[in-house]
Amino acid sequence: MSSTGASWGCQGLSVRYGATVALEDVSFEARAGTVAAVVGGDGAGKTSLLRALAGTVRPAAGTVRRPPARRLGYVSAGPGVWTDLTVDENLDFAGRAYGLSADELDRRVAWLLDRTGLAEARGRLAGRLSGGMRQKLALAMAVAHEPDLLILDEPTTGVDPVSRAELWRLLASSAADGAAVVVATTYLDEAERAATVLVLDRGRALLAGTPDEVLAATPGLVVEGTARPEGIASWRRGARWRAWSPDGSAPPGTSPVTLDLEDAAIVAQLRQDRGRAA
């Protein structure tokens, strides 16, 4: 099984596609037995980072540490399953591709069908599964060989909260068994479940660390009020306004809030934009 204490990741990683810089000087660590979240919007560089970790993209600079390809599991964004094959055939295909023996394959497929709740759908074509079930199948295929490094590109996009909770339970289960799990998402509230978080913005690391470290490193004060505070950067949170006070003072009519990762990322983006403008 997995080598305990192993750590995978990258150092000073840059990825370019022709003249386009997808990633610039990004460092990232994924430890055995933990879940690491990579967060960012469309075009932030999440997929480039995951591909470089998986070895399917050659870095323009920097180093990548990863286990041999046979010890990797990868779930790409998109279908990630063979839609013309049944659930059983998909699992069979994935297990054989990773060189499982017939006995091992039987044991793993039985366990995975049970764990994913896909047992009743095992004869169904993957193309006819719901979005959540399809993602569970893709994840089951990626963990059939009990990889040391499990990489998932937005596994919960378009997936409802019930299926999302099940997917997280499955990937936590891989981490509990010793895998290093890397999961990309566009949602910071989802990233709060991970042991470490890397927030990417336009190919660069915006924030990195444990959720607590990221919150603690946010300078100044985030405040909330019913009207838009004057003179400082502000954004909506429901019917109310939030604002970032760099000097730590609460403007009149506002009160400090308990920071979450969403606030921390917004503050970091505001600071970066200010830095660029200056």
Partner 1 sequence: MNQEKGVESAVGRRPLDSGRQIRRPGRPASEVLAEAAGATKRFGELLAVDRVDLAVAAGEVVGLIGANGSGKTTLIRMLLGLVAPTAGRVRLFGEPPSRRTRARLGYVPQSLGLYEDLTVAENLAFSAAAYGSSQAALQGELAEAGDVLVRDLPLGLRRRAAFAIALGHHPDLLVLDEPTSGVDPLQRARLWETIRASAEQGAGVLVTTHHLSEAEQCDRLVVLASGRVVAAGTLDEVVGDATAVEVRTPTWEAAFGTLDLAGLPVGLVGRNLRVPGADPASVGRLLAEAGVQAEVATVPASFEETFVVLAT
Binder of partner 1 out of 1, 239, 277, 278 (CB under 8 A): 239
Q: Are 143 and 174 in contact (CB under 8 A)?
A: yes
Q: Are 63 and 12 in contact (CB under 8 A)?
A: yes
What is the C-alpha separation between 31 and 12, in angstroms, rounded?
A: 18
Q: Per rule CB under 8 A, is residue 113 in the interface with partner 1? A: no
Closer CB to partner 1, 96 or 115, in the complex: 115
Query: Which residues inside 130-189 make contact with partner 1, applying CB under 8 A?
Result: 130-132, 157-158, 160-165, 168-169, 172-173, 175-178, 186-189
Q: Are 186 and 41 in contact (CB under 8 A)?
A: yes
Q: Per rule CB under 8 A, is residue 44 in the interface with partner 1? A: yes
Contact pattern from residue 207 through residue 236 relative to partner 1, giving x for each residue in contact according to CB under 8 A and a dash for the rest: ---xx--------------xxx------xx
Total residues binding partner 1 (CB under 8 A): 52
H or E element that contains 222: strand 221-225
Q: Which residue has the tokens 């017939």?
A: 102
Closer CB to partner 1, 106 or 160, in the complex: 160
Q: Per rule CB under 8 A, is residue 192 in the interface with partner 1? A: yes
268-278 residues labelled b (16+ CB within 10 A) or e (exposed) = bbbbeeeeeee
What is the C-alpha separation between 267 and 218, in angstroms, rounded?
A: 8
Q: Are 222 and 241 in contact (CB under 8 A)?
A: no
Nearest approach, Cβ of 123 to partner 1 (angstroms)?
Answer: 21
Binder of partner 1 out of 20, 42, 68, 258 (CB under 8 A): 42
Closer CB to partner 1, 55 or 131, in the complex: 131
Angle separating helix axes 87-97 and 131-143, nearest 10 degrees: 30
In the complex, which residues of this chain contact partner 1 (CB under 8 A)? 33-35, 40-44, 130-132, 157-158, 160-165, 168-169, 172-173, 175-178, 186-189, 192-195, 201, 210-211, 226-228, 235-240, 262, 265-266, 269-270
